[in-house]
Amino acid sequence: MSLVLSLFMPLMVLLTAPAIALVWGPAQVSWLPSGMTPAAKQAFRRTTRQSDKHRIASDERIHGQVVDSEE
C-alpha cells in the first residue's frame, strides 16, 4: 500500500516511514515466525539460540586459545 500511495502522492512516504520503523522490530519477533512452516520455525529458533551462545563464547574467550567446540 505504501509503495502504491507513494507513487501517486509522494508525501505519503514521509508519513509511512516512521510507522514502518516503529513496527519493524515487533514484526521480526512475532510476524516472521508465524508465517513459517514448523520445520522452518524450529531451524529459526535453533539459529537464534546458537547465535547468542556463539556471541557470548566469542566475547568470553581469551584470544590465542584453541576453541573447543561441541559440534
Instruction: Report d(CA 24, CA 21) in Å as an integer.
Output: 5
Q: How many CB atoms lie within 10 A of CB 33?
A: 13
Supply the pLDDT for residue 71. 52
Supply the pLDDT for residue 65. 66
Could you read off the pLDDT of 18-54 as tens digits, one per residue? 888 888 888 877 787 888 899 998 888 888 777 777 7
Query: Which helix (DSSP H) or strand (DSSP E) does residue 60 occupy?
Result: helix 38-60
Supply the pLDDT for residue 60. 78
Question: Residue 69 pLDDT > 80, yes or no?
Answer: no
Mean pLDDT of 7-19: 81
Here the cell at position 71 is 559440534
Threshold 0.85, pTM exceeds: no
